[in-house]
Chains A and B, each alone.
Chain A
Amino acid sequence: MVTTLGPAGFTRRAVEVLSEHFTEPVWMRDFRLEAFDAYERLPMPGPPDEEWRRTDLSGFPWDAFDADPEPVGGPAEIPVLPPGVIFSDLRTAVAKHPDLVREHFMRTVVRPDESKFRALHAALWNAGTFLYVPERVEVAVPLRSEAWIGREAAALFPHTLVVAEAGSRVTLIDEFGSYAGGWGAFADGVVELILRDGAQVRYVARQDWMAAVTEIGILRARLSRDSALHSLIVALGGRVVKGNIESLLEGPGATSEMLGLIFGHDGQHFDLHTLQEHRAPHTLSDLLYKNAVKDRARSVFSGMIRVHPGAQKTNAFQANRNLILSDGAKADSIPNLEIMANDLRCTHGSATSRLHEEHLFYLMSRGLRRLDAVRMVVEGFFAELVDRIPLEDVRVRLRGDVDRKMVQ
């Protein structure tokens, strides 16, 4: 079923109609309209901005899309949960837990006035998941949520908000995709993760849009004392993907593991910016992003480790590995450091290479066909990363993804 609420384009009227369609409380409607003001006020980022040097959206047909009023989004299934845990789609949460949502939604982690696309998301968010885990509650089973692009010219604004109270533990696997069809579509997502003292969160985002999707998004986590985040970003689909993945380590003892698996084929363009921001002493961040590109695909890894004054005894590690599989594919790597404390250990490394003929030759001399030998080397390239995920079904899935990308 194709649902639209009016002409395409991101207009104030579209915001009002969407809010009305969702029968939202006044505060959310006002929040959206204020965000839309910011959207109109803020400049469109472009190549003169350092962060947008490698992704040029000028000429993008903004008027061709409209916010899908009925996208599929929210929990994929709801298992039996410990008392007090809230796991629902965001629209339901706005109605049933307004205080909790209002306290956290786009206020303390990601703000609408940060940039044009954050503002647009805040004005037109239309899908999403809310997960709240009370103090010292442990959710044993991994939770799954999703958001889907369901038709041509749809704009999807998925929002994931996770609040993990002190001492809680939870795993969330977030899936993003489009239903069959190489539709021209637009996605502008925000993921906000709040980790209170001692909380432990594992978050997996797997994105497998169909071909013609343009995606802009951010994942930002704020980590309090002794909390631990393990994040994995899997980017496989879309035509142009521009994302930020940020961990703000704000309490002593906080740790953040940041993993990324990116595989581009055809003319895909992935531009991912990571931030490891150490604002407190005794914090640890450990980042590993692996990008493979074939055909004419291009990947950009731009990482920043920033250690603020006073964040002593920090350990910060950043590694980017790129594998270029074809003539014509490109991989850019920009691993930056800004260090304003002295008592720390901080390293970053980047390596870009091709398939080594010796490795292939070795495997082929053992009787493997060339295609299988290449596949094996690429699997080996990603294995270091995949093996760090303690979820068997995710690992199996990722191996399948890599195999599929090899022949796509």
Chain B
Amino acid sequence: MATTNPMGINAEKYKYGFFEPEKYVFKARKGLNAEIVNEISHMKDEPPWMRAFRLHAYDHFTKRPMPKWGADLSTINFDDIYYYIKPTEKQAKSWEELPEEIKRTYDRLGIPEAEKKFLAGVGAQYESEVVYHNLKDEWEKLGVIFLDTDSALKEHPDLFREYFATVVPPEDNKIAALNSAVWSGGSFVYVPAGVRVDIPLQAYFRINAQNMGQFERTLIICEPGSYVHYVEGCTAPVYSSDSLHSAVVEIIVKEGARCRYTTIQNWSTNVYNLVTKRAVAYRDATMEWIDGNLGSKLTMKYPSVYMVEPGAKAEILSVAFAGHGQHQDPGGKVIHAAPHTQSVVVSKSISKDGGRAGYRGLVKIYPGAKGSRSAVRCDALILDDRSRSDTYPTMEIDEEDVSITHEATVSKVSDEQLFYLMSRGVKEDEAMNMIVRGFVEPIVKELPLEYAVELNRLIALEMEGSVG
């Protein structure tokens, strides 16, 4: 059923189920062993320490058992995945240099147009390597570095090595170990002290080859007093067999700095999306995660903030939408390891057509984190009687002088709400759409304009056929 929402967007035209034929420069074999890890490092012409790091991580990956909690991961076949594909010989410097088929894909996502208007830079990930980068001159003058992670390793080796894997070590969890062994692409952002990057830095990611894993690695360093907003969005064409996306994102927010990281995730519904995202916030720093999860077969992602010095703040806003066959298991972790730290977590989840969405989180207050405050709020909307909502918050409080609250509600779209809107002449499907948009509004309003539009479009698309 085609739906035209109040913004005049025909949702029928906005299907992302297109894909381009594969054309690759190098394609590794499926599966993983130490030899392939070596080969990846060789292909990338990496320094020996990175090769040793990858091999160590691979070793840990093989030894570490699969996690038993949470969603069912037993159906992932790690031997049936490509761990590295290089899409073009060399990095394109401008949009015109990009291969035609890649440009076509991006045209359909509206990126160049968006870029003209808003964007500071586009790090577009087509397959496993960033193929296109553009950074406005003014940021370069300020000393801001915005590169794909592979280039950063080559161009800023000392800076890279100082921070890489300090927030998420390869031993952190099995999936992070896998990423550490085979990582490729992602973004590297360095913001010097006192610099404010006013326009969001954006990166688009796509998966385009069957059975292909994406293991990008993002590292953001905010020097004291700086500010940056990094935005990543994902859309992926639909394929028939399962693929895996496993990213690691590390963020260091130094004294008085503020970092906001926004994700709109819309992987196709065959993708396992297992992501480790973590930030360390120092004195009076602020870290904000805004996380929208619409696509994927299964998402397990718990952006976390370690508040390690007094006055640090954390904010996590999360939206999850689970339709047929989808399991969204997002959440967040806030670790209060210093006095007078504050955190706010807001989660909104929607499930329909047998989908399962929820929230899994941790609030941890260490002894001595006096005067810390944490508030967690989880709301769930269940649109039919086949769908499911889960809330698994955990609060570990080892300090007396704190204030911790958690609230959650689960509800449906009430007949009264629908009746009210319909009595105003709104059609039922539109009314449903409006109610759902109202439900996620507190989070959507935190997004940059074009992402807010896109999220609303995607929700409208997901809501198709939910009435009648």
Contacts and interface: CB of A to CB of B under 8 A. Distances in A.
From B69, B408, B409, B410, residue with most partner A Cβ within 10 Å: B410
B399 A342 contact: no
A352 to B, nearest CB: 4
Given A324-B397, A327-B399, A352-B395, A339 B412 contact: no
Given A309-B385, A342-B382, A349-B408, A354 B392 contact: no
A327 B385 CA distance: 46
Nearest to A334: B394
A341 B385 contact: yes
A132 to B, nearest CB: 38
B400 A329 contact: yes
B396 interface: yes
A87 to B, nearest CB: 41
A282 B387 CA distance: 19
Interface in A322-353: 322, 324-353
Interface residues on chain A, size class:
35 or more
Given A329-B400, A342-B412, A343-B412, A337 B407 contact: no
A396 B337 CA distance: 41
Given A310-B385, A353-B404, A344 B396 contact: no
Given A330-B396, A330-B398, A336 B367 contact: no
Contacts of A329: 400
Contact of A346 (B358, B387, B393, B410): B410
A interface majority secondary structure: strand
A331 B397 contact: yes
B293 interface: no
Contacts of A333: 393-395, 397, 404, 406
Nearest to B398: A330
A351 B394 CA distance: 12
- For the complex of A and B, the 4 pairs showing the least CB-CB separation, nearest first, are A342-B382, A337-B391, A350-B406, A346-B410
A353 B388 contact: no
B388 A332 contact: no
Nearest to B409: A347
Contacts, number: 119
A50 interface: yes
A54 to B, nearest CB: 9
Interface residues of B, number: 36
B402 interface: yes
Given A339-B390, A349-B406, 20 more contacts: A327-B367, A330-B397, A330-B398, A331-B395, A333-B404, A334-B392, A334-B394, A337-B389, A337-B408, A342-B383, A344-B412, A345-B409, A346-B411, A348-B407, A350-B404, A351-B404, A351-B405, A351-B406, A352-B405, A354-B400
Contacts of A352: 395, 397, 402-405
B13 interface: no
B385 A332 contact: no
Contacts of A353: 402-404
A346 B379 CA distance: 10
Nearest to A357: B401
B384 interface: yes
Contact of A339 (B380, B396, B406): B380
B390 A336 contact: yes
A343 B411 CA distance: 7
B394 A339 contact: no
Contacts of B396: 330, 332
A345 B407 CA distance: 14
A340 B402 CA distance: 34
Contacts of A43: none
A337 B69 contact: no
Given A324-B397, A346-B410, A312 B405 contact: no
Nearest to A319: B407
15 contacts: A309-B386, A312-B385, A324-B402, A330-B398, A332-B394, A333-B406, A336-B392, A337-B392, A337-B410, A338-B389, A341-B385, A342-B382, A350-B393, A353-B402, A354-B401
A347 B395 CA distance: 17
Nearest to B371: A354
A48 interface: yes
Contacts of A48: 68
